[in-house]
Amino acid sequence: MLTIAVSKGRIYDDALPLLAEANIIPIDDPKTSRKLILRTNHDNVQLVIIRATDVPTFVEYGAADLGIAGKDVLIEHDSDNLYEPLDLKIACCKLMTAAPKGAPNISGRVRVATKYIKTAERYFASQGIQAEIIKLYGAMELAPLVGLADCIVDVVDTGNTLRANGLEPRELIMDISSRLVVNKASMKMKHSIIQPLIDQFEKTLAER
């Protein structure tokens, strides 16, 4: 059995055409099914639908052979035990700082709300800014509005949510896209199945 871990939502939707080009088509639809393991048109291939932040963990520990995860999640996971053979160039966005509109530029000491603890620490250290990092799991935009933090670090796509809450994007930390990751043991044990899949993804990306 070949198990591929994908997060529900934009990454899953963007990954479907790539999977289809590799002749992997889900039979179950996560939008209408409560199943967390989705069957495909191959008896020996299944998809597991999990939280984005859990994808690298599932792959690292062998619960999934491959996974599709955003670079933001992979950097925060910070593991040397995963192969990352391909940038799939899907679910693209930006990891940025954001602050209330018109607020002074960040300098000196700052309080930052984010779920990207390691990334934020490294970024502000590189800027020579002493940052107190406050970990939040959601509703990041609230933090500056209620005085919990001076700014946030979060992924930005259109920026509409920021603007709706009186915030504006500031500094670009990195461009984000989704990557294919592979369990190291699976790469050896199931090489004859996994390598052709990687090759097909690569071919599809080259033709886009």
* Same domain membership, residue 145 and residue 165: yes
- Do 112 and 124 reside in the same domain of the chain? yes
CB 6 within 8 A of CB 67: yes
Of the candidates 205, 181, 201, the one whose C-alpha atom is nearest the C-alpha of residue 3 is 181
**How far is it, in rounded angstroms, from Cα 202 to Cα 93?**
21
pLDDT digits 0-9 by tens, 20-38 = 999 999 998 888 888 899 9
Q: Are residues 46 and 100 in the same domain?
A: no
Asked if 86 and 18 sit in the same domain, the reply is: yes
Distances (CA, A) of 202 to 11, 22, 30, 89, 208: 17, 10, 26, 11, 10
Does 114 lie in the same domain as 69? no
* Cβ–Cβ under 8 Å, residues 2 and 190: yes
**Residue 161 is part of a domain; what is its CATH number?**
3.40.190.10
State the residue range of the domain holding 140.
Answer: 93-175
Q: How far apart are CA 136 and CA 117, in angstroms?
A: 9
CB 64 within 8 A of CB 194: no
pLDDT in tens, 87-104: 999 999 999 999 999 998
111 and 74 in a common domain: no
140 and 130 co-located in one domain? yes
When divided into structural domains, the chain yields a total of 2
37 with 108, same domain? Answer: no
* Confidence (pLDDT) at 49: 95
Residues 85 and 115 in one domain: no
Residue 120 token pair: 């934020």
With 90 as the cut, is the pLDDT of residue 76 above it? yes
Q: Are residues 83 and 20 in the same domain?
A: yes
Please tell me whether residues 111 and 140 are part of one structural domain.
Answer: yes
